[in-house]
Amino acid sequence: MTLRETADMLEQCDYPLSADELSAVHGEWELELPNGSETLATVLERAGDERFGSAEEAQHAIYGAVSSDAVGRIGYSDRDPTPMGVDGPQPVSF
């Protein structure tokens, strides 16, 4: 399942809900990531012993706990602004 499908599934759950309870019911679901996959149970283990009050809380915990397989190019973003005090890339005209 994709992360979007995971978010939709979380909307169907009754809250409050612990990470252990969510893992017991849906832990075997495979999350499809750009560079691989992992089970929801594995992701929830990284999220820690949490209790979610809403689908949004559970979604944020899962998004924060997915492995680096969920990231296309680690440490790369062409959308982040250049930090203050650092010379950024020079504009190039095509």
Asked if residue 80 is part of any domain, the answer here is: no
Q: Which residues lie closer than 8 Å to 85 by C-beta, 6 or more apart?
A: none
pLDDT, tens only, 84-93: 677 766 777 7
In a domain, 74, yes or no: no
Question: Which residue range(s) make up the domain with 63?
Answer: 3-69
Six token digits for residue 72: 């296309």
Would 44 be classed as within a structural domain? yes
In angstroms, the CA 38 to CA 65 distance is 11
Integer Cα distance of 61 and 64 in angstroms? 5
Q: What is the total count of domains within the chain?
A: 1
User: Residue 10 is inside which H or E element, if any?
Assistant: helix 3-11
Which residues pair with residue 36 across a beta bridge? 33
Judged against a pLDDT cut of 70, whether residue 35 lies above it is answered with yes
For 36-81, the pLDDT digits (tens) are 889 999 999 988 778 999 999 999 998 888 876 666 666 666 666 6
Examine residue 82 and state whether it is found in any structural domain, yes or no.
no
Per-residue pLDDT at 71: 65
Residue 84 lies in a domain: no
Domain assignment present for 60: yes
